[in-house]
Chain A
Amino acid sequence: MYTKVKLENLNVHFGSNHAVRDVSIDFPENSVTAIIGPSGCGKSTVLRSINRMHDLAPAARVTGKILLDDSDIYDKGVDPVSIRRRVGMVFQKPNPFPAMSIYDNVIAGYKLNGRVNRAEADEIVESSLKRVALWDEVKDRLKSNAMELSGGQQQRLCIARTIAVKPEVILMDEPASALDPLSTLKIEELIEELKEKYTIIIVTHNMQQAARVSDITAFFYLGELIECGETRKIFTTPDQKQTEDYITGRFG
Chain B
Amino acid sequence: MPPVTTAPKWNIKTGFNGDFIFKGITVLFAFSILVILALMIYEMVGESLPAMRKFGRHFIGGMEWDAVQGTFGALPYLYGSVVSSVLALALATPLSVGSAVFITEIAPKKFGAVVAALVELLAAIPSVIYGLWGILVMAPWLQKTVQPFLIEHFGFLPFFKGAPYGVSMLAAVFILMIMVVPIITSITKEVLLAVPQSQKEAAIALGATRWEMIRMAVLPYGRSGILGAVILGLGRAIGETMAVTMVIGNAPQISLSLLSPAYTMPSVIANEFAETTSKLHSAALMEIGLILLVVTLVINALARLLIWSVTRRQRGGGH
Residues on A facing B (Cβ under 8 Å): 71, 75, 77-79, 81-82, 85-86, 109-110, 115-117, 120-121, 124, 165-167
Contacts and interface: CB of A to CB of B under 8 A. Distances in A.
Contacts of B156: none
A120 B3 contact: yes
Contacts of A121: 5
B13 interface: yes
Contact of A82 (B3, B4, B5, B10): B10
A85 B12 contact: no
Given A75-B12, A86-B10, A81 B4 contact: no
B4 A120 contact: yes
B5 A81 contact: no
Nearest to B14: A77
B3 A78 contact: no
Nearest to B18: A81
A82 B13 contact: yes
B5 A117 contact: yes
Contacts of A166: 6-7
Contacts of B108: none
A121 B3 CA distance: 10
A79 B3 contact: no
Interface in B36-58: none
A99 B13 CA distance: 32
B4 A85 contact: no
B11 interface: yes
B8 A85 contact: yes
B14 A85 contact: no
B7 A116 contact: no
Most chain A beta-carbon contacts within 10 A, residue among B5, B8, B13, B14: B5
Nearest to A124: B5
B26 interface: no
A85 B7 contact: yes
A82 B8 CA distance: 8
Contacts of B317: none
Interface residues of B, number: 13
A117 B4 contact: yes
Nearest to A77: B14
A87 to B, nearest CB: 11
Contacts of B4: 115-117, 120
B3 A117 contact: yes
Contacts of B3: 117, 120
A52 B14 CA distance: 16
Contacts of B14: 77, 79
Nearest to A85: B7
B13 A77 contact: yes
B195 to A, nearest CB: 36
A218 B3 CA distance: 40
A81 B17 contact: yes
Contacts of B17: 79, 81
8 contacts: A75-B12, A77-B12, A79-B13, A81-B17, A82-B13, A86-B7, A117-B3, A117-B4
Nearest to B1: A117
B316 interface: no
Contact of B15 (A75, A79, A110, A115): A79
A222 to B, nearest CB: 34
Nearest to A168: B10
A7 to B, nearest CB: 19
Please name the 7 residue pairs, one residue from A and one from B, whose CB atoms are nearest each other, closest first. Answer: A117-B4, A79-B13, A120-B5, A166-B7, A77-B14, A165-B7, A110-B5
Contacts of A109: 7
Contacts of B15: 77, 79
A75 B11 CA distance: 12
Contacts of B10: 82, 86
A31 to B, nearest CB: 21
Contacts of A120: 3-5
A167 B17 CA distance: 21
B4 to A, nearest CB: 4
Contact of B11 (A79, A115, A117, A165): A79
Given A77-B14, A79-B17, 18 more contacts: A77-B12, A77-B13, A79-B12, A79-B14, A81-B17, A82-B8, A82-B10, A82-B11, A85-B8, A86-B7, A86-B10, A109-B7, A110-B5, A115-B4, A117-B4, A120-B4, A124-B5, A167-B7
A8 to B, nearest CB: 19
Nearest to B13: A79
Nearest to A167: B7
A117 B6 CA distance: 10
Contacts of A71: 12
A86 B12 CA distance: 13
Contacts of A75: 12
Contacts of A116: 4-5
A46 B11 CA distance: 24
A121 B6 CA distance: 10
Contacts of B8: 82, 85
Nearest to B15: A79
Contact of B12 (A78, A110, A167): A78
